[in-house]
């Protein structure tokens, strides 16, 4: 267990936030440091064909140790962390034998991780938790996934009696800004299928995710002196308010769950003359997803007609799609993961992701890629934590999937 703790703590010591405003790959220079470290580590533990390309994508191979043809499987995680919350100078805290009570992350600032608010904590009584100190995110999303994959590869190298086919691993930059798969070379990876290790609670196994789009709504106004504004001023902020109110008030993230989609206003900025609204649009069902986009366009058209001019412009761009369409024809890859979990005494939690993963884009690029738990909770903020036992179980699932694949083919 100490090995997995030490590896995870090393990874989270790197500040590797991505940046959506950057046009480079990786989007931040800081991601290179962890990419180079992981590359060196993979060579040290004995992985083959280790490569780090010009865009910081890492790939490596654990060669087959069986004498028959076995499908090549892959495991993928990302090393960037969310730009939504600071990841500079992460100070992890280790809490052994968690007692189910409040955890004081930062006494000075009165920052407390409490099971009265985060009920999932109670699932891990008696376990070892790694938390933040309340001033940064932790980075378990997805350095826990990398920890688990590297640990599993090291274990298989040290235990050649466990039979497996060729295993490919890949680590990507910029997943948190939706670009993790954009420059992933599926042909070079050369796997029959893969799994992203990027879920949360122990047992999660996911092959459905949102269809996703981003929308930028630009409202144009006219500024004149307020003392002489009658019949002349057009206040873009007021029109923006009308637009916001025209969307279903209950179809927002904090009011939805399961397969329910939403409109999410992520940013707003404006003045009398110009206001910009940024939305993300999400739905698991493709028909409902298309209807959501059409609904936004219809609201804009209605307001334009009311004002007698094109005061609103909308730019909607699709981001990724539900991987279910690509994975269902290959359901045996989900079945193997489910069997692996059950054989280890883990109850599979098969559900839809209320978000997306690199796996959704990779599935549409020809690499079917369900998602498996990595163990962390409360991603992208100061209350993030990961149980060490969850990382250990995820690593064991990787080993078992490799073993079952060799047994079945």
Task: Tell me the pLDDT tens digit for each residue of 329-349.
Answer: 999 999 999 999 999 999 999
Q: What is the pTM of this model?
A: 0.90
19, 142, 148, 175: the active-site residue: 175
Of 58, 92, 50, residue with least CA distance to 391: 92
Helices marked H in 210-349 — which ranges?
236-246, 286-307, 324-327, 332-343
Strand 73-78 with 204-206, pairing: unpaired
Closest CA to 208 of 316, 332, 331: 331
Residues in contact with 342: Cβ distance below 8 Å, sequence separation at least 6, in sequence order: 348
Q: Residue 409 has what pLDDT?
A: 87
The answer to whether residues 269 and 275 touch, using CB atoms and an 8 Å cutoff, is yes
User: How does DSSP classify residue 81?
Assistant: B
pLDDT digit string, tens, across residues 170-220: 999 999 998 999 999 999 999 999 999 998 999 999 999 999 999 999 999
Q: For residue 165, is pLDDT > 90? A: yes
CA dist 404 and 323 (Å) reads 24
Contact 101, 115 (CB under 8 A): yes
How does pLDDT run across 83-109, given as a tens digit for each residue?
Answer: 989 999 999 999 999 999 999 999 999
Residue 1 has pLDDT above 90, yes or no: no
Supply the pLDDT for residue 408.
86
Which pLDDT value is given to residue 357? 82
Q: How far is CA 150 from CA 35, 126, 197, 302, in A?
A: 13, 26, 11, 54
Q: What are phi and psi of 84, to 5 degrees?
A: -75, -15
Which residue of the set 80, 174, 198, 206 is catalytic? 80
The pLDDT value recorded for residue 356 is 80
Q: Which two tokens stand for residue 11?
A: 């990874």
C-alpha 57: how far from its chain's center? 17
Q: Kind and range of the H or E element at 77?
A: strand 73-78
* Alpha carbon 152 to chain centroid, angstroms: 21
User: Looking at the domain covering 211-319, what would its CATH class be?
Assistant: alpha beta
Q: In the predicted model, is pLDDT for residue 24 greater than 90?
A: yes
Backbone angles phi, psi at 384, to 5 degrees: -65, 140
Q: What is the mean pLDDT of the chain?
A: 96
In angstroms, the CA 263 to CA 283 distance is: 9
- Looking at residue 303, its pLDDT comes to 96
Verify whether residue 175 is a known catalytic residue. yes
Contact 170, 189 (CB under 8 A): yes
Query: Cα–Cα distance between 109 and 220 in angstroms, integer?
Result: 43
Q: Which CA distances in Å does 276 have to 221, 249, 266, 269?
A: 11, 19, 11, 5
The token pair at 91 is 């100070």
Cα–Cα dist 334/338, whole Å: 6
Give the residue-averaged pLDDT of 269-276: 97
Please state the domain extents for the chain.
Answer: 2-209+322-408, 211-319
Give the residue-averaged pLDDT of 295-305. 97
Model pLDDT, residue 178 = 86
Query: What pLDDT does 245 receive?
Result: 97
Evaluate if residue 273 carries a pLDDT over 90: yes
Q: pLDDT tens across 35-66, in order?
A: 999 999 999 999 999 999 999 999 999 999 99
Residues 6+ apart with CB under 8 A from 372: 195, 196, 197, 198, 199, 204, 205, 206, 337, 394, 397
Q: Give the per-residue pLDDT at 151.
A: 98
Residue 335: count of CB within 10 angstroms of its CB: 12
pLDDT score of 292: 98
CATH class in words for 2-209+322-408: alpha beta
Q: Where are the alpha helices (DSSP H) in 138-208?
A: 140-158, 186-189
Where do we find the tokens 């969307």? 247
Q: Within 10 A of 91 (CB to CB), how many other CB atoms are there? A: 15
The pair of structure tokens assigned to 160 is 């050649």
At residue 215, the pLDDT reads: 97
Tokens coding 50? 């280790």
Is 315 designated active site?
no
Find the helix packing angle between 140-158 and 31-45, rounded to 10°: 10
Nearest to 28 by CA among 15, 45, 39: 15
pLDDT of 236 above 90: yes
């Amino acid at each position: 267990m100490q090995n997995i703790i030490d590896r995870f703590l090393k990874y989270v010591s790197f500040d590797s936030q991505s940046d959506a405003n950057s046009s480079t790959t990786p989007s931040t220079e800081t991601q290179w440091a962890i990419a180079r470290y992981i590359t060196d580590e993979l060579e040290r533990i004995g992985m083959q064909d280790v490569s780090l390309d010009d865009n910081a994508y890492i790939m490596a191979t654990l060669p087959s140790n069986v004498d028959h043809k076995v499908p090549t499987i892959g495991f993928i995680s990302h090393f960037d962390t969310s730009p939504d919350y600071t990841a500079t100078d992460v100070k992890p805290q280790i809490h052994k034998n968690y007692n189910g009570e409040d955890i004081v992350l930062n006494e000075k600032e009165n920052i407390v991780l409490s099971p009265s608010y985060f009920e999932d904590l109670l699932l891990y009584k008696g376990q070892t938790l790694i938390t933040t100190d309340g001033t940064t995110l932790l980075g378990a999303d997805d350095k826990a996934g990398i920890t688990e994959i590297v640990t599993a590869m090291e274990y298989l190298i040290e235990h050649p009696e466990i039979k497996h086919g060729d295993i490919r691993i890949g680590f990507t930059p910029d997943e948190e800004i939706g670009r993790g798969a954009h420059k992933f070379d599926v042909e070079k990876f050369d796997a029959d299928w893969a799994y992203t290790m990027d879920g949360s609670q122990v047992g999660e196994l996911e092959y459905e995710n949102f269809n996703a789009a981003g929308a930028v709504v630009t409202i144009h106004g006219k500024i004149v002196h307020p003392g002489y504004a009658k019949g002349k001023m057009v206040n873009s902020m007021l029109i923006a308010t009308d637009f916001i109110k025209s969307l279903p008030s209950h179809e927002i993230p904090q009011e939805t769950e399961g397969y329910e989609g939403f409109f999410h206003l992520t940013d707003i900025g404006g003045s009398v003359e110009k206001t910009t609204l940024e939305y993300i649009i999400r739905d698991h069902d493709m028909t409902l997803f298309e209807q959501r986009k059409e609904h936004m366009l219809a609201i804009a058209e209605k307001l334009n007609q009311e004002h007698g001019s094109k005061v609103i412009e909308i730019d909607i761009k699709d981001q990724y799609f539900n991987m279910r369409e690509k994975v269902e024809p290959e359901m045996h890859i989900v079945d193997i993961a489910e069997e692996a979990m059950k054989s280890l005494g883990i109850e599979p939690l098969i559900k839809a992701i209320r978000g997306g993963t690199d796996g959704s884009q990779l599935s549409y690029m020809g690499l079917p890629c369900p998602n498996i738990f990595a163990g962390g909770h409360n991603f992208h903020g100061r209350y993030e934590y990961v149980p060490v036992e969850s990382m250990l179980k995820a690593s064991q699932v990787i080993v078992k999937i490799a073993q079952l694949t060799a047994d079945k083919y």
